[in-house]
Amino acid sequence: MKTINKIFLLGVVAIFSACAGGNGELIGVQGREIWFEPVPYGMLYIPAGSFTMGPSDQDVPFANQSQSKTVTLPAFWIDHTEITNNEYRQFVYWVRDSIAHYLLGEVDEEAHLIMVDRYGDDWDPPSINWRTRIEWYGDEERETLESMYLPEHERFNRRKEFDTRKYLFEYTMIDLRDAARKGTANADDGGAPLRKRGMTDRSIFIKRDVIPIYPDTLCWVHDFTYAYNEPLTNMYFWHPAYDEYPVVGVSWKQARAFCIWRTNLLNSFLNKTGQTFVQNFRLPTETEWEYAARGTFNTSPYPWGGPYIRNSRGCFLGNFKPLRGDYYADGGIYTVKVGSYNPNDYGLYDMAGNAAEWTSNAFDESAYNFSHDLSPDYVYEADDADPEVLKRKVIRGGSWKDLGMYMQTSTRTYEYQDTAKSYIGFRCVRTYLGRDVHDVL
């Protein structure tokens, strides 16, 4: 009887093997999804290619490190404008509501069933109606949500406002370069080589961090001595008048956290609808940023070509500090709405001026010498205890308070990763999946 059962099972296996394997032929796994990458909302496509990275004109600020290097990049997507106040506010509100949901779930089991898991099971929690929802709950729930507001002794003019110091975002990321050096026990998800099969715990490559994510609105005051910028501290981030202005006052770490949140927000939706994940949103490398900023003008100093910073009618082509300090000569004293000036040939706005932009790269004067010529990417994950020189991150593009030379596409400068400035914002990129078919077709 056991022999008959064994023969029957072998026969069933053989039948399924024949169906799945094409009579023993190698045909790959069948029924796989036919997939084409949709255009990400608010992003533009940058084709793969090579260009000469580095100064195409006199690079006054850093003449001691000016050099040129031919590099090659795969295709990627990039935000057509800098991230705006209103877009960053979506991140802030998500963190606020998630914390509130978590707190309510702790004191109300029924509420907990519809609340988000703070640690990532649901990345799309419903928003709380703060004006009415608190009234629906009992005293215990109202008392719980009261902890989200400033204590009474810290309130100004008795205004009941949220305590934004409590807006903490907890996130994880995997250090693939560290995994590549040390090996992992399972590389199916991480993509690292199996150098020490069964010997290394993947968790050692997973980095966790908790950071406050509310912009530093005081940056408008502490960035400038003896200048009256208090109105911008009071209104710039939260008032609707500034919704379409670039978000500033965010540190490099906050900008990276935004990219991680944006990735999880989209992938959560794709997972719920049965769709395949996409590449992560991230800060651009400085090479990607320069390539995108140049548009099709690979040998010109500015995104619009050059060598001039005015058009044929004498109008300035970006928001910076023109002439001898006439901030308003270009139409903007501080930042202006994104997209207020003409885009470059790729359709990207404000790649010169308005707000300078964080990149993912650590700053080193000699990075061009030792970085690869295929997708150069010099990174260093600085700890709080590291010396300040190791916390430098590359910023590009110049800002509303900079002279015209800083608006050149090749000009490199830096700021420290844990600082937030009134003149630095950011935009996201996402690597294109698959072959660069746009140019082939």
How does pLDDT run along the chain (441 residues), one tens digit per residue?
A: 545 555 445 444 444 444 555 688 999 998 888 888 889 999 999 999 999 998 876 655 555 556 788 999 999 999 999 999 999 999 999 999 888 877 877 655 544 434 344 444 443 444 555 554 444 456 666 777 888 889 989 998 888 888 999 999 999 888 888 888 876 444 445 444 545 445 567 888 888 999 999 999 999 999 999 999 999 999 999 999 999 999 999 999 999 999 999 999 999 899 888 888 999 999 999 999 999 999 988 888 999 987 888 988 889 999 999 988 899 999 999 999 999 999 999 999 999 999 999 999 999 988 998 999 999 999 999 998 999 999 999 999 999 999 988 999 999 999 999 999 999 999 999 999 986 655 444
Task: Please report whether residue 26 resides in a domain.
Answer: no
For tokens 């949500």, the residue is 145
Q: Residue 325 sits in which domain range?
A: 49-84+226-440
Task: Please report whether residue 53 resides in a domain.
Answer: yes
**244 and 330 in a common domain:** yes
36 by Cβ neighbours in 10 Å (0-12 / 13-18 / 19+) ranks as exposed
C-beta separation of 418 from 253 below 8 A: yes
C-beta separation of 72 from 375 below 8 A: yes
Strand partners, 358: 395
31 by Cβ neighbours in 10 Å (0-12 / 13-18 / 19+) ranks as exposed
Task: Please report whether residue 164 resides in a domain.
Answer: no
Q: How many CA atoms lie within 13 A of 284 on its CB side?
A: 31
Structure tokens at 251: 């540190």
Task: Please report whether residue 100 resides in a domain.
Answer: no
**378 and 232 in a common domain:** yes
**374 and 249 in a common domain:** yes
**384 and 241 in a common domain:** yes
Closest by CA to 247, choosing from 209, 205, 216, 223, is 216
Measure CA of the first residue to CA of the last residue in the chain; give whole Å.
62
Task: Please report whether residue 144 resides in a domain.
Answer: no
Find the CATH number of the domain harbouring 295.
3.90.1580.10
**279 and 180 in a common domain:** no
Task: Please report whether residue 17 resides in a domain.
Answer: no
**235 and 193 in a common domain:** no
**278 and 397 in a common domain:** yes
Q: How many domains does the chain have?
A: 2
**297 and 379 in a common domain:** yes
**396 and 331 in a common domain:** yes
Distance, CA of 315 to CA of 86 (rounded, Å): 29
**414 and 265 in a common domain:** yes
- Give the angle 60-62-63 at the CA atoms, nearest 5°: 65
**274 and 381 in a common domain:** yes
Task: Please report whether residue 74 resides in a domain.
Answer: yes
Task: Please report whether residue 108 resides in a domain.
Answer: no
**415 and 357 in a common domain:** yes
Closest by CA to 246, choosing from 17, 142, 46, 400, is 400
